Structure 1
Amino acid sequence: MSVLRQPGVLGRTAHRRVVGVTAALSAAVVETVAVGLWFGLVVGSPTSSTALAGLGLLFCGSLLRTGIVGATVSTLGDLLQPRRLGVALVLTAGWVVWLLVAELLGGVLGVGVATAVLTCVLTGQFILERRVFRRPANHRITFTPIAPGLLLAAGASTLLVATRFIDWGLSSPPLPLGVTTIVLRIEALQIAVLVFGLSVFLAHQRRFQRILDP
């Protein structure tokens, strides 16, 4: 029978797409803010206090993102369950290892190796996340999320490139505002964060599309 004659099928398909896009957008906002703030704190003027604060922000963002995945593919449940905390810890550790590898190797080599390492870590974390938050009726992993991991890691590499290889900024003419003057400035890191956010959204949108498909 033609799908056009099955309005229920069309309705379920449209519902899954809306849920997938909404979840991907929510996860992208959370991850972009968490990783962006952590990266800015650690790379800007790192101290012990800023490093701890950034790590806390990164872990909270990872926990929220895993909660979004859980609420989308199964039920929200208790975010503080050991397995779910483990998923968030793996994601947090992946970002820390990514930056450590880039810092230790340095240069273009550091960016390339760190991107490859992050791709592997994210792919494994996506699989682990899928197993922890799997639907009761589906215990199999039907695809390996290499493409989402690579897309997200490639977006993250723009953060490294913007801070290491690009010394660029665009400033507006002075804008008088009462007794003060405002100058708007756009820097390479800000553009990189936007690119990273877009890559995060596309990566999660692809993940949720595959996960939610029957």
Structure 2
Amino acid sequence: MLNLGYACERYRLLFCKFCLYPNSELLHIVFKAVIKHICYNFASFISVCDEWTEWGPCIGGCDTTGTQTRTCEIGGLEGNEENQECDTDACVCDEWPEWGPCIGDCDTSGTQTRTCESGGLVGNEDSRQCDTDACVCDEWTAWGSCIGECELPGTQTRTCESGGLEGNEDSRSCDTGDCVCDEWADWGDCIALCDDFGERERRCTSGDLLGYYDSEDCEGDPCGR
């Protein structure tokens, strides 16, 4: 195969050798024309690549005809690419990871998946049916506080932390306890006619009865005062 760079260099050296001789004007013109003819006029269709990279990977679906590419590194075609057909890998997976968790409601058929890590099926997913956990809870949280009005049935809940019921809540009735006031305001004035009995009130400022009023009988002032 013709190395264009090598040929041009040889003709250039030969031309310069003749330039040293006297009365060589005619030779000068002839060799100049020869060099121009070889090194320029034919460059477009004599271009070759002196060194190619290795062929790249075979790109295409598994078990089909793919394409691989290489690039010219040195020569007249430097930077140009060349393609050729190739046989892709078989449609098999060389390495599968462990199966993922079984996804689905408890006590039913679930699904678990894995993704091929190498081979003709790299990146593809495989799936299979699996048996989910039984509808039981292996560990519950503690019961929460009893929610509801005092002296009436309330509700408290807990959450499953592990097992087939993980994330589910359980609830039950509970006793809210007596209605108590933790702190009362002072008694108000007694509202009554003189020498008669009336009523006074106080307001709960803290506890189950917050905002409620308590009352008691009281005696009015004597008449004539």
TM interval, shorter chain, is under 0.3
TM-score (norm 1): 0.22
Structure 1 or 2: more helix by fraction: 1
Structure with greater contact order relative to length (CA < 8 Å, sep ≥ 6): 1
Q: So what's the TM-score if we normalise by structure 2?
A: 0.21
Considering fraction of residues, name the structure with more strand: 2
